[in-house]
Amino acid sequence: MSTQNHWIKAVRCSDVPPREGRSVQIGKREIAIFNLGDRFVAIDNRCPHKGGPLAEGIVAGPEVVCPLHAWKVNLETGMIARPTTENSCVAAYAVRVVEGVIQLKMPLYSPTEITNTPACLEGNSPAAWSFGAGTMGEITP
């Protein structure tokens, strides 16, 4: 299984307003990208509680409040901040901005290397990737 990371174009900065999140589909994974005002952060869009869409949550400091049952997820680490007794997490991705486009650093897996292990428990490993034509989703050096 490959563990090499790649920078992948995800979305234009201008498409993610300050203090809000937007979801993007990259391969078979849905990612929530947030604009914290001075930087962008990215985590998996699926709340580990019952799958709530984290990109639609309310940004509160460095955390997002899930819109379904108000769990809080730390946007830097992907760890659950509330409830404090919860030990689960979502994958958090390194982010960079190149020429106005947000890029995410992710390992690249072939479609035959699908795993059901939670991404945060195996080093932020996406299940599988398949890229179509177009600018976003493109792998960059």
Q: In a 3-state reduction of DSSP, which class is residue 138? A: coil
CB of 105 to ligand FES, least distance (A): 25
Residue nearer to ligand FES on the CB measure, 69 or 96: 69
CB of 30 to ligand FES, least distance (A): 14
C-alpha distances in Å from residue 44, one per residue of 80, 133, 141: 13, 23, 23
Residue numbers at the binding site for ligand FES (CB under 6 A) = 47, 49-52, 66, 68-69, 71
Residue nearer to ligand FES on the CB measure, 102 or 120: 120
Q: What are the beta bridge partners of residue 41?
A: 34
Pairwise CA distance, residues 8 & 23, whole Å: 15
CB of 29 to ligand FES, least distance (A): 18
Q: Which residue type does 58 have?
A: I
